[in-house]
Structure 1
Amino acid sequence: MTPRSAAVLLNCSSRSNRAASQRARLAELLKGSGLAAEILCAERGQHMGELARRAARGPYDMLVAGGGDGTMNTVAAAIVGTEKTMGVLPLGTVNHFAKYLGIPLTLEGAVRTLVEGRRVQIDVGEVNGRVFVNNSTLGIYPTIVRDREALRKRSGMNKWLAFGLATLGGIRRQEPIRLRLVLDEQEIHLNTPFVFVANNDFKLGDLDLARQGPLGSGELGVCVAHAESRLSMVKLLASAVAGRLQKASDFSILRTRELLVEAPQRRLHVAADGEVLKLSPPLRYRTRPSALRVIVPPSSDIRAGSVRREDPPDQRAALGG
């Protein structure tokens, strides 16, 4: 098979020695892989979305996202619904999407997957036209993400320490939001501090909220907290950390194909794959079945509920041979 062309998209704004060394190692691995790849960098002041959209209009067969889940989201949004294929280099902290697909977390293993892997088509989620590959959240979590990033920008604080402090601050300040949910002809009115909408599994980072079986094709998972007091929120958080959240009486787990969220606010903070957006309700969630082509390892045990179609063995994306 003739090697296909790939664009490898990286955020190159970091000038640290570690980042520079990582980019040099990646260039070396790509050169040795036989993959015809060009590294495209989003430099300081350039938005990754702009780079991804430009690459999507280019001659590349594959766009490879190098970064964390926010970068995965951005690249997926640029090529969803097209014939282009997405590759994954997990260079972030949590790497939820890469773990879900079974992508090796080492740079060597991830590059090898680009060459030896197989192509599958997976569902993506969408809220008011904005794509997400992992999940979307309302309530306290977007507040925590915003506060975490503000702390890091202000003080250069470690990401996990900033997350812990932001969580404590969020619990102290977050008030439940009044929502009306409509899903599968069911209507729910509630005051809630937290709504979670899943596209692939019920994990928020490495935290498994539901410990349930895989979502079916074209299906969204919805988790809703009914806790209205701060004490109830703390108890729910403790249950989540202990892995007992799915047994909590004030936590509901639902499945649906579409979700409508109405709220009295003019704008809501909504997180999509960890990126915080300001959206005007009503929020309309839906799935786009088989809308994204991705490369996974030949041995990946990715759950069949989210995979609509695979290339047969003789058409795998063996990019180098």
Structure 2
Amino acid sequence: METLNVGKTVAADAPFFIVLNSGSGRNDADETSDIVRRVMEGAGRRVEILKVGDASELANTARRAVELAKAQGGVVVAAGGDGTINAVAQTVLGQGCPFGVLPQGTFNYFGRTHGISQDTEEAARALLDATISPVQVGMLNERLFLVNASLGLYPQLLEDRETYKRQYGRSRLVALWSGIMTVMRSHRRLHIDMEQDGKTRSLRTVTLFVGNNRLQLERVGIEQSDDVHAGRLVGIALRDMSGLAMLGLLFRGAMRKLGGADDVIDFSFTQLVVKPRTGSRSRRFKVATDGEILWMEAPLVFKVAAERLPLLIPPPDQRKEEV
């Protein structure tokens, strides 16, 4: 891996290779492309936009962007929601090229945490003078996550949310309503054994959530949110409870008071190993990493990646307040 000049801006002639997921985010892909080209070309910078129409081609397109960036001393940029940013970051990590983002999603926790504007033109302009900063990355087995990884109820909530978005559009209100509908249904409980930093405990829970994003954890009132900047991840598990009790926790989280609730177990760790409880027939878990759903074989190992992601951070006068 190449050594990056952390804390410095990229070269003034470094080209930008932008992976744009046209099926992701709030904005029209052609409009986003036009904005980015206008900003980059207006500043005399080379830019190539690699559009992805089918999510199955996202990884291949990201690899192509990395190849181009390494050959030409350029920057790889992900334009899309947290899932798109995750997929491109998975390819960039360890390759020695800087990584930028143009947030296009509903919540944009990753971009907001690092002061990156949700406005495409402002975010593109900020890339021109951004500095390289190493950012902590979480790993679930071989999968990277920037914001969170989870199993149980939370992946189901994400699947339901996408269904509601297709019907009613992308908004935080639609996401909240979808969440209410999901938690009110009955759900299969997880019977798991967790080994946390050398200590083992058994747990029956509806969901296990692991966070790597301070802003998201702060927004629901988890006091250990600062631990994700100190080489640790934060786990959250809900005790076995009724749908009505979970609805109460959903609103408690919306009021930023989830931490400290009697039915919430929260803890920070360097490594967490999750297995089905002895005697369980299934060894497969449905998991979510930054909103992308997949199945994984146990054991599930959550940890901080050995390498950090070389993220382009806007200069101080262009950083946005966390909202």
Q: TM-score, with normalisation over the residues of structure 1?
A: 0.84
Matched residue SS, 2:50: strand
In structure 2, C-alpha distance between the alignment counterparts of 1:231 and 1:166, rounded to whole Å:
13
In structure 2, C-alpha distance between the alignment counterparts of 1:163 and 1:42, rounded to whole Å:
29
Distance 1:34 1:188, change over 3 A: farther
Q: 2:183 touches 2:246 (CA, 8 Å); kept in 1? A: no
Q: 1:184 touches 1:256 (CA, 8 Å); kept in 2? A: yes
Q: TM-score, with normalisation over the residues of structure 2?
A: 0.84
Quote the offset at 1:281 in angstroms. 1.3
Determine what percentage of the aligned residue pairs are the same residue: 29
Answering whether residue 36 of structure 2 is matched by residue 26 of structure 1, we say yes
Quote the offset at 1:162 in angstroms. 6.1
What's the counterpart of residue 214 of structure 1?
226
In structure 2, C-alpha distance between the alignment counterparts of 1:217 and 1:115, rounded to whole Å:
29
Quote the offset at 1:296 in angstroms. 0.2
Q: 1:217 touches 1:289 (CA, 8 Å); kept in 2? A: no
Answering whether residue 83 of structure 2 is matched by residue 73 of structure 1, we say no
What's the counterpart of residue 22 of structure 2?
12
Distance 1:244 1:147, change over 3 A: same
Q: 1:269 touches 1:279 (CA, 8 Å); kept in 2? A: yes
Q: 2:80 touches 2:104 (CA, 8 Å); kept in 1? A: yes
Answering whether residue 122 of structure 2 is matched by residue 109 of structure 1, we say yes
Match of 2:91, as an amino acid?
A
Q: 1:259 touches 1:286 (CA, 8 Å); kept in 2? A: yes
Match of 1:190, as an amino acid?
L
In structure 2, C-alpha distance between the alignment counterparts of 1:118 and 1:189, rounded to whole Å:
44
What's the counterpart of residue 156 of structure 2?
143
Answering whether residue 298 of structure 2 is matched by residue 266 of structure 1, we say no
Distance 1:140 1:84, change over 3 A: same
**1:249-304 alpha-carbon deviations (Å, 9 max, x no partner):** 111221111010112333211111111111111101111144211100122899xx
Aligned pair count? 299
In structure 1, C-alpha distance between the alignment counterparts of 2:302 and 2:55, rounded to whole Å:
31
Quote the offset at 1:171 in angstroms. 3.1
**1:124-149 alpha-carbon deviations (Å, 9 max, x no partner):** 11111001111111111100111232
How is 1:236-247 mapped onto 2 (pairs within 5 angstroms)?
Answer: 236-247=249-260
Quote the offset at 1:44 in angstroms. 4.2
Match of 2:206, as an amino acid?
P
Matched residue SS, 1:83: coil
In structure 2, C-alpha distance between the alignment counterparts of 1:162 and 1:242, rounded to whole Å:
16
Q: 1:218 touches 1:289 (CA, 8 Å); kept in 2? A: no
1:42 to 48, 52, 61: 52
Matched residue SS, 1:138: strand
**1:95-144 alpha-carbon deviations (Å, 9 max, x no partner):** 11101111122222211221111101112111110011111111111001
Q: 1:104 touches 1:110 (CA, 8 Å); kept in 2? A: yes
Distance 1:66 1:135, change over 3 A: same
